[in-house]
Structure 1
Amino acid sequence: MSSRKQVAVFTDDQTLQKWNMSLRKDVFDSFISRSEPILHKIFTGGSLFSPLLFGKFFDPSDAFPLWEFESAVLLSSLRNSGQNTSDWFETEAEYGLKAELPGVKKYSDVQICVENGKVLEISGQWRPQRETGAKDWRSEYWWEFGYVRRLELPENADWRKIEANVDDEIILEIRIPKNHLVTSEESKPV
């Protein structure tokens, strides 16, 4: 039986210690060329955090990376492959996201932040520990990896009431209530 833990959702007024590294195609290619299975699970095969999610390298500096795609075409290969490790859903009351977080060992590795009430950022880091047989050595972090995905929130999302949970299988579930006032204001005749 899995247990669920709530994950804090930070807003603009709360400062997170964030890390930053430019992700260019050459940097990503050298990173992914390592033969570590966890890297391939996280960064390929339909993971929410893959820069190759849409069939090409996603360059964060490209202001309009998806202009040449239609959404149905864009995600069809992921749906057909059965490799998509994230599920989106919408009900009358809320939006939802469930995503697998491979490689995350503890709940504190996941950070969720809402920026300007418009962008939901899911990020985290993990640091493999060095294993040695010597008793005098202490385990230290020799390298670290991370992931980040930024998602634009719908206009009627009530971002102040976002809830996020992670379970033992490291499945992240985010629920974003709809703000029905925004919807009803938009539908009023002028």
Structure 2
Amino acid sequence: MALTPFLIGADPRIAPSSYARDVAAVANTQVDWKETPEAHIFKANLPGLSKDEVKVQVEEGRVLQISGERRKEEATQGEKLHSVELVHGSFLRRFRLPENVKVEEVKAVMENGVLTVTVPKMQKPSAKTIDITCT
């Protein structure tokens, strides 16, 4: 069996199927969640995706949902794909947010393939001191 120059060192007879690889990779879209004194910050590496291919929503019950789709590149007339290794398909991640967040102030920024979602926290009410009077 001849190997293409793009598969040097790989044995296509034992390589995982394209479908299985894509399902595993899309299902495992990794997201970091960091809490600061001011906000909860979520970061997702989404290389090759534009902001139009990603959706950020806050559902009822304070559930942050990050979803999107990476489309498979298709060969056009006169072209031939020799190897398709980039992951494609849909992804969806959901996070239940704590009660102390301002869901109406969520912000999302996509820069260099990294999505950053910032969920501000509510300020803790400060304790009010009550003057005690003597009678």
What's the TM-score bracket when you normalise by the shorter of the two chains? 0.5 to 0.7
Structure 2 residue aligned with 1:154: 98
TM-score with structure 2 setting the length: 0.63
Equivalent residues of 1:96, 1:176 under 8 A apart: yes
Q: Identify unmatched segments of 5+ residues in structure 2.
A: 1-15, 80-87, 129-135
Which of these residues, 22, 28, 33, is aligned with residue 50 of structure 1? 28
Backbone CA RMSD of aligned residues: 3.1
Structure 2 residue aligned with 1:184: 125
CA shift, 1:161, in A, is 0.3
Which of these residues, 45, 51, 56, is aligned with residue 107 of structure 1? 51
Structure 2 residue aligned with 1:128: 72
Q: Identify unmatched segments of 5+ residues in structure 1.
A: 1-32, 44-48, 52-84, 136-143
Q: Which runs of 4+ in 1 moved over 3 A?
A: 35-38
The share of aligned pairs that are identical, in percent, is 30
- How many residues align? The count is 105
Q: Does 1:93 align with 2:38?
A: yes
* Structure 1, 149-158 or 113-122: larger mean CA deviation: 113-122
Equivalent residues of 1:113, 1:121 under 8 A apart: yes
Larger Rg: 2
Q: Deviations over 1:109-153 (max 9, x none)?
A: 000111115111100112223213349xxxxxxxx7201011101
Equivalent AA in structure 1 for residue 45 of structure 2: E
TM-score with structure 1 setting the length: 0.46
Q: Distance in 1 between matches of 2:46 and 2:24?
A: 10
